[in-house]
Chains A and B, each alone.
Chain A
Amino acid sequence: MALPYRLRSITKPFEPALEHLNRCTMRFTVQQVRNGCRLGSLTDLGPQPLATPLWMMYTLQGSAPYLTSDVLSKISDTPSVMIVPNGHVSEHYDAIQKYNKGIAAFASLPEKLVFASMQDPGVATPTGFNTNKGVAVWGRPGKTEMTVEMHTRLTEALRPCVYQAMFDGDTPKDASNKRMKKSVDRSIQFLDLCLEEKKKSEVLRDVPMFAGIVGGYNKYERARFAKEVSKRDVSGYSIEGFHHNGSKVEELKISEISDLLQISLNELSEDKPRVFTGALPPHSLLAAIKLGLDIFDLSYPYVVGERGSALTFNYVFDAQTQEQELSHSVEGEEGPYEMCLKHKRFARDFGPLKQGCECYTCVHHSRAYVHHLLEVSELLAPILLTIHNMQHYIGFTQQIHKCLRDDSFDQLQMLIESQRTLKG
């Protein structure tokens, strides 16, 4: 008789589905431009066309922050594309390369498409570490100085659907003109080397590469760089050099970069997608869409969750819930779109994080419970916050699409603006 408990040999490796990793050439169509906002479609990237504006899932070492793939599946309509910063995975190049099926499958999210980025939008990028040879990228163990050669090898191993060329975007607002010139000179050099490497690489030859559009806060450098890029064969643009990622991006004023951005865009082809990564709060996101930007990421809900907050802003035109939610006063480091569950006032508040929210967290758990978990530093706290914040922000992005289609984008902007000024 077979005993119920015994050692069996362990040999079978995983065989995830990989159809979408076959070579693909991306196509981008702008379907509608209204008030500067673009509605578009990316085809031939994955199995389905992707509608823009598009949001990429934020990841840490290939996983959604805090969420196992099992728990991630409790969130509905998660993005098809995930952003994987080089610095998170460079340390594990050997294993990923040997695995030979790309970072998404390696991280057990084989159905996701990968956008390989240089920097991590969710965490502040330290400044002052780039050289002529390479760009400093950052992960848990610290800094890796990425050369074009390394960048190419790593990108090959990641098997992205789109990747960023190497660039030096280290141009703080107060950077000297010399620094901004340097950033442009280097980025042109890196871009040319990346294009060369791309041609030589069997894996990357047909993978769309986006150029990082730099030039900092200098009009002349912005124009100079964009002109150079326009002469080269890239599939899209990633707007860089305006911020250093992390929660500071919440303070970025889109109005202050719009002229500079326009200088860049003027030189570039209109029918290529434009990426703008970073933790953009709702009003900045809407303003960025109005400037004609197409692709964003979900680092904002991550950054909000990291300070123990739940997103509570309204994006649906429903006066009743709006009034109800706005009535609480803002405390401490709480932004205008969130409530910080660390506050004592939630200790006996047994309601959901947000009234009417249908996310897993709100259906099963209360503010008081999340407050308790934060108080005692339990791992379930960020898990529950991530579920709610991601689901809430995804709902917001769906509402943006709806408003772009039925021409109520301005109303949405007003709704968001009213919450910002009321609380902020």
Chain B
Amino acid sequence: MAASIAKRALKFEVLAECSKSKARTSKISLVHATVDAPVFMPVGTQGTLKGMLPEQLKQLGCQIMLGNTYHLGNRPGPEILDEVGGLHKFMDWDRALLTDSGGFQMVSLLKLAEITEEGVEFEAPHDGSKLLLTPEKSIEIQNAIGADIIMQLDDVVHTLTTGHRVEEAMHRTIRWLDRCIAAHKKPELQNLFPIVQGGLNPELRKQCAQELIKRDVNGFAIGGLSGGEEKSAFWRMVSTSTDVLPKEKPRYLMGVGFALDLVVCVALGCDMFDCVFPTRTARFGCALVSTGQLQLKKTEFKSDFRPIDENCECSTCKKYTRAYLHTIAAHEAVAASLITVHNVCFMLNLMKSIRESILVDKFPEFVQNFMSVRFPTGEYPSWAIEALSSVNIQLSPPSST
């Protein structure tokens, strides 16, 4: 199978399109796995997904996960990853991987990051020495990690920044893309995705996307969103970007993974999503369910002998009660593993349902149903109503069954 796609590290095949909205379901064939999209990618920041064996992830049907270049570049570092033959081997994960560029992590984690034309300059957290992450360096590390999809280094500005800085960042992102493409040493194995920037300015977004699509790449990411901006601006930026991006290439919306955002952004034409939320929140005893979340530490679960979700097929729901999880949620490490398994399963199931509904052209009905379950009183967020109606999905109040 690997041989047939050797010439191209990514093959994208749209299986069905929603007749109303921009939603589509597709197959993304990568070197290590064929990924069914729309897809949610769980985040395994440091070469492991919080308390889960890679085998458990596979059992849940996970086809692709994320690693963070900033963290992996620090530890274990590119030399060790090169020596062992990449992150796949290092962590015993034989399916697909995606890495970010490291730039976002740097700007958000390190206060002292300074951005110049050369790259992102920062102080090393352990010894304070000055380091520089250039587009070339980011690609070099990502080449060593060896993920199926890698990201260009982009000039990240805070979502709420306005004015000249946003425009500067957008242009620099395009210049850096060309440096990344030139530095990329494994195009036959790894796909470099450019990132659409442009803040909350639709003109800049459009301009950026139009420039990016001139490059010979296999897919695109939409970045710089999900940073605390107004939801009404958020969805418009997503939709503006997908309008420009070509239909025959996958679109990855970075850092978005709340169930509602995900359903809406599938309608707006996005194919790939990632978010730390489902795994991070598990550590605090929070389980995801179709109606929202269960805070298992709460005393209401003290003698609730039901599973988190009776219809869930995950190993946690098959064996464990809410009551038992309540007793360990705050104390035992094993609770984090158990709830993580469920939360990842929940996200993967959500995506599966989305895909199945698009395949039979029932996606609008799926969305209606999803919203009725999540908002039983019918008080849908106005931004979601707007976003969905922009792609011809009109929500009606929940039926009283």
Contact = CB atoms under 8 A, between A and B. Distances in A.
Interface string B369-386: 110010000000000000
Given A14-B321, A68-B316, A383-B51, A60 B369 contact: no
A63 to B, nearest CB: 5
Nearest to B51: A379
Contacts of A364: 53-55, 92
B332 A61 contact: yes
Given A11-B310, A62-B324, A5 B290 contact: yes
B337 A71 contact: yes
Interface stretch (B23-31, B101-109, B195-203, B349-357): B349-357
Interface in A336-384: 347-348, 350, 360, 364-366, 368-369, 372-373, 375-376, 378-380, 382-383
Interface string B348-368: 001011101100001001100
B76 A372 contact: yes
B306 interface: yes
B53 A383 contact: yes
Nearest to A13: B305
A62 B326 CA distance: 13
A297 B48 CA distance: 31
A319 interface: no
B242 interface: no
B222 to A, nearest CB: 25
A383 B337 contact: yes
B46 A376 contact: yes
Contacts, number: 163
Contact of B324 (A9, A106, A380, A382): A106
A368 B309 contact: no
Interface stretch (A33-41, A93-101, A126-134, A180-188): A93-101
A140 interface: yes
Nearest to B311: A8
B362 A13 contact: no
A61 B309 contact: no
A140 B335 CA distance: 14
B46 A6 contact: no
Task: Give the interface SS of chain A, mostly helix, strand, loop or mixed.
Answer: loop
A380 B90 CA distance: 14
B91 interface: yes
* A: interface residue count bin: 35 or more
Interface in A74-102: 89, 91-92, 94-95, 98-99
Interface string B328-341: 10111110111001
A378 B46 contact: yes
A10 interface: yes
B275 interface: no
B10 to A, nearest CB: 28
A140 B328 CA distance: 10
A69 interface: yes
A346 to B, nearest CB: 11
Contacts of A63: 328, 332, 334
A99 B366 contact: no
A349 to B, nearest CB: 10
B257 to A, nearest CB: 17
A17 interface: no
A19 B221 CA distance: 57
A7 B291 contact: yes
Contacts of B365: 3
A247 B309 CA distance: 40
Interface in B36-83: 46-48, 50-56, 71, 75-76, 80, 83
Task: Give the interface SS of chain B, mostly helix, strand, loop or mixed.
Answer: helix
A4 interface: yes
A107 interface: yes
A108 interface: yes
A254 interface: no
B48 A373 contact: yes
A7 B373 contact: yes
A12 interface: yes
A293 B273 CA distance: 58
A66 B46 CA distance: 19
Contacts of A108: 319-321, 324
A366 B328 CA distance: 30
A6 B328 contact: no
A140 B327 CA distance: 11
Contacts of B353: 4-5
Given A66-B334, A368-B90, A369-B90, A94 B302 contact: yes
Contacts of B50: 378-380
Nearest to A375: B75
Nearest to A16: B319
A6 B316 CA distance: 20
Contact of A60 (B47, B80, B290, B332): B332
Given A68-B316, A364-B92, A10 B303 contact: no
Interface of A: 1, 3-14, 60-71, 89, 91-92, 94-95, 98-99, 106-108, 140-141, 347-348, 350, 360, 364-366, 368-369, 372-373, 375-376, 378-380, 382-383
16 contacts: A4-B353, A5-B290, A5-B369, A7-B373, A11-B306, A61-B328, A62-B327, A70-B341, A71-B337, A94-B303, A99-B323, A106-B324, A108-B320, A364-B92, A380-B51, A383-B337
The 10 closest A-B pairs by CB, nearest first: A5-B353, A379-B51, A140-B331, A10-B310, A4-B353, A70-B315, A108-B319, A380-B48, A92-B327, A7-B373
